[in-house]
Amino acid sequence: MIKYPAIIDGELGAYGVVIPDMPGACCAMGETVDAALADAAAALTDFAHDIEIQGGELPAPSAVTDLDLQPGEMVAYVKLAEKQSVPVKAAAAELGVSEARVRQLCLSGLIVGAERKGREWLIPSPVVRYALPRGRRSAEASN
């Protein structure tokens, strides 16, 4: 499990968290430090998912000693949640298509992050499907 250092700032009833390794994308707020850190963990998971969809790679976590802390700031670690996988049946229900269509999309590489393990598919949740341009769909159907 990957843990990123986070900088916590604020005062009683209003805390903010910034993850320096994810500039501009991972900041969170909460009435308590715990609530702000929970919000930061959710933001980090969403940001990591977006990076994965775009085909990018997550930056490596910084060392705490590399952080430039201001007076009154604290450091904590925010864990990046592991990918949750769903079976083909659940992915089909989520996309509103048949299980056969989900398998076909997986084989075509059109479901983001789907991996084959033996006879089963590991499909990340939430299920994200690449959209095909209209011209490609008609060309695909004629082949």
Tens-digit pLDDT profile for residues 49-71: 778 767 788 889 999 999 989 99
What pLDDT is attached to residue 83? 67
Indicate the SS3 state at residue 52. Answer: helix
User: Can you tell me the mean pLDDT for 66-86?
Assistant: 87
Show the DSSP H helices in 13-128 as ranges: 33-53, 88-95, 99-107
- Cα(57)–Cα(53) distance, rounded to whole angstroms? 10
Handedness of CA 63, 49, 104, 138 (dihedral sign): negative
- The count of residues in the chain is 143
- Cα(132)–Cα(135) distance, rounded to whole angstroms? 8
Q: How confident is the model at residue 24 (pLDDT cuts 50, 70, 90)?
A: low
CATH architecture of the region 84-132 = Orthogonal Bundle (1.10)
CATH architecture of the region 3-79 = 2-Layer Sandwich (3.30)
Backbone angles phi, psi at 20, to 5 degrees: -60, -30
Give the H or E element holding residue 78. Answer: strand 74-79
pLDDT digits (tens, 9 = 90+) for 112-135: 788 888 888 888 877 777 765 555
Query: Where are the chain's structural domains?
Result: 3-79, 84-132
Pairing of strands 3-11, 115-117: unpaired
* pLDDT above 50 (res 43): yes
